[in-house]
Structure formats: structure tokens, C-alpha cells
Chains A and B, each alone.
Chain A
Amino acid sequence: MAESGVTATVGAGRTRGQWLSTVARQRELSLVAIMFVLGGLVSVTAPQFLTLSNLSQVAVLASIVAVAAVGEALVMITRNIDLSVEAMIGLVAYCVAIVLQRHALDAPAAIALGIGIGLVLGMINGAVVTLLKVPSIVATLGTLSIFRGVDYLIAGSHQVPLAGLPPGFTDPARDSILGIPIFVLVTLLVVVIGSVVLRSTRFGRQVYAVGSNPEAAAILGIPSRLSCSPPSHCAACSPASPAYSGSWSSGRSTGHPRQAPCYRSWPRSSSGV
């Protein structure tokens, strides 16, 4: 499809390819279209589906998954995968919640701690994949069990109730600015910053280069350590989590920690996921 300028005079084969590549490029838009159709169908049987309060509820819950998905997408674009995200989320969620419950740190510090833990866990994944050259699917399957095990080990059967956390921490789940929930705003910010980095920086282009063709990327001189450092950086991503029902989400990726909000001890449910 990139050769469309070179092969100017071709027939049906190319138009079909072109059409398909347009569809592929509009992948995101087709998702939105499907959502609209689905929304219409569902609202026939359940009119409350398309109410503002319900939709914002959906958006808040989805935004927590979305932050983690952004991190995961970075990893997957480099032709790797991180299976351990959800265990990571559970572990981070519990650590943050327990620290807050014991008033060891205030809310911003606890959120920073969560992002820090997420970074360290991600770097462990990254190190195993890049330094030891273990395929990421195997490595993160291992760390999935490890993180989950550590979570169980620390938490036991203990849960942190949402009510026990300081309001500075739990309020952002309910608050909104200009009618847009804070969670959604934070997620948008993460997506925008991440997209700009991926599209316009050398690092971002290298992430795509490594993912499309690792051998070519190596020949082009993208250092293999970096070629892995997308993985290792990207793997540092993740943790995010559920809104109301609670818990905590945290940051990710290349050193710019992302976001945070969290509530209570979702860890249990999250580790159970």
C-alpha cells in the first residue's frame, strides 16, 4: 500500500487492496461504528443504556482498563506480549491500599509508590526478555504466577475496605471536571501523550520498526538492546484498575509514569481475574 505512488496505473487488484487498506486504517472508526449500532440495539430493550449516567459509568470503568491497554499495546507493537499485567495490577493495588490504610503515606505519595512498583515489576519483565532472551510469552507467564503469588503472600485473605482509605484518594473516582470524569480525562491524557511519543519521536518509530521486522531493524542499526528496550520499557507499563469497586491504577512505560487513581483492595478480585 505504501507503493501506491509507484504503481500508479494498475487495475482492480490495486483498488481492492486500497479499499482494504483503507478499512484497515480506519480500524478504530469501525469499532466506533459497531459501538453505535450495538448501542442502538441494546437501547431498544434497555432504554437506560444510553443515559448519560450509565455511559459515563461505562467510560470510567473502561478508562481503567484503557490505561493498562495503552501499556500493553506498546508491548505488543514490539512483537512481544505481557501476560502478567493483571497480576501486576492486583499486586500494586494491594500495596497502595495497605499503605494508605495504615496512613504510612498520603494519597499522592502512595500513588507515586504504586507507579514506582509498577515500573520495577515491568523492568523485571523487560530484563528477563531482553537480557536473558526469554520469549516474552513464557517470561511473563512466569512473572504472572510470581506476581500473583507475592500478592497472595502479602495479602493473605486480608482485604482493604474502600471506606478505610482517605478521601483524597477515593474522591477522584467520583469527581469530574466540566462534566467529564477525572478518570476519563487522565486516560485521554495518557493516550494523547503516548500517541505523540509513538508517532513523532525516534523512540516511537523504533518501536514500530522493531515490531514490523526485528531483523531489518537490527540491520538498520537500531541497537538490539534498544530493540529490546521497547519491550523492556514498554513492559514497565501497566497497572490500572477498576474504578468504583475499587483499587488502583498506576503508571507505565518509558519512564514517564502515567497516572494513578485507585481505590481499595481490588487486588483480590483482580488477582482472581
Chain B
Amino acid sequence: MLSIVAAVVVGGVSTLGGIGTLAGAALGALFLGFIANALILVGLSQFWLQAIYGVVILVAISADAIILRRIQRATVESRAR
């Protein structure tokens, strides 16, 4: 379900708009395909796939949010001086 949106988000396109590249989105798709294939070869159940996609998406979004916030804070600080 929604693996395309997942690929885009993992590829670094911000859900808040204005940030991201098309190459990133395509790479995100490759990344998810990579994981799916690896899971099969390692012998993990397909049922894990959705859960792992979920974790990957959460990690990607959190990382983006944290980085964005830090950048904004740093920009504000450097402007204040």
C-alpha cells in the first residue's frame, strides 16, 4: 500500500513541500526494491516487508525533520550574532 509515496519520502522529498529532487525519488524506489529483494533472499517472511517499509519511512521522515530543524536553528543563531 502506498509504496510509491513511501519511495518518494525515503528519497528525500519533504512532505511539507519545496524540498527534494526527482533523482532522489527514483533512488528511493530503488532503495525499497533493494530491501524487498534482500528480505526474500535472506529468507525473511514477506509479512515483514510492510513493517520494515514503515520503519524505513519513519526513520527517513524523522531524519529529515531533525536535520531541517537544526538547520533552521543554526541559521537563526548565525543571523542573531
Is this pair of chains taken from one and the same complex? Answer: yes
Which A residues have a C-beta under 8 Å from some C-beta of B? Answer: 1, 3, 7, 10-11, 13-14, 16-18, 20-21, 23-24, 27-28, 31-32, 34-35, 38-39, 42, 45-46, 48-49, 54, 57-59, 61-63, 65-66, 68-70, 72-74, 76-83, 85-86, 187, 191, 194-195, 198, 208-213, 238, 273
B31 adjacent to A35 (CB under 8 Å) = yes
B2 adjacent to A83 (CB under 8 Å) = yes
> Which residues from chain B contact A46 at a C-beta distance below 8 Å?
38, 41-43
User: Given contacts A13-B78, A38-B38, are A69 and B7 in contact (CB under 8 A)?
Assistant: yes
Interface on chain A toward B: helix, strand, loop, or mixed SS?
helix
User: Given contacts A3-B75, A58-B34, are A65 and B7 in contact (CB under 8 A)?
Assistant: yes
B70 adjacent to A86 (CB under 8 Å) = no
User: Given contacts A14-B74, A17-B70, are A72 and B4 in contact (CB under 8 A)?
Assistant: yes
> Which residues from chain B contact A39 at a C-beta distance below 8 Å?
34, 38
User: Given contacts A7-B79, A65-B4, A77-B17, are A35 and B34 in contact (CB under 8 A)?
Assistant: yes
B13 adjacent to A32 (CB under 8 Å) = no
A76 adjacent to B8 (CB under 8 Å) = yes
> Which residues from chain B contact A34 at a C-beta distance below 8 Å?
31
A14 adjacent to B22 (CB under 8 Å) = no
Top 7 nearest A-B pairs by Cβ distance?
A17-B74, A79-B17, A212-B18, A211-B17, A62-B33, A73-B25, A211-B18
Residue of B nearest to A46 (CB): B41
- In the complex, what distance in Å separates the CA atom of A72 from the CA atom of B24? 12
Residue of B nearest to A15 (CB): B74
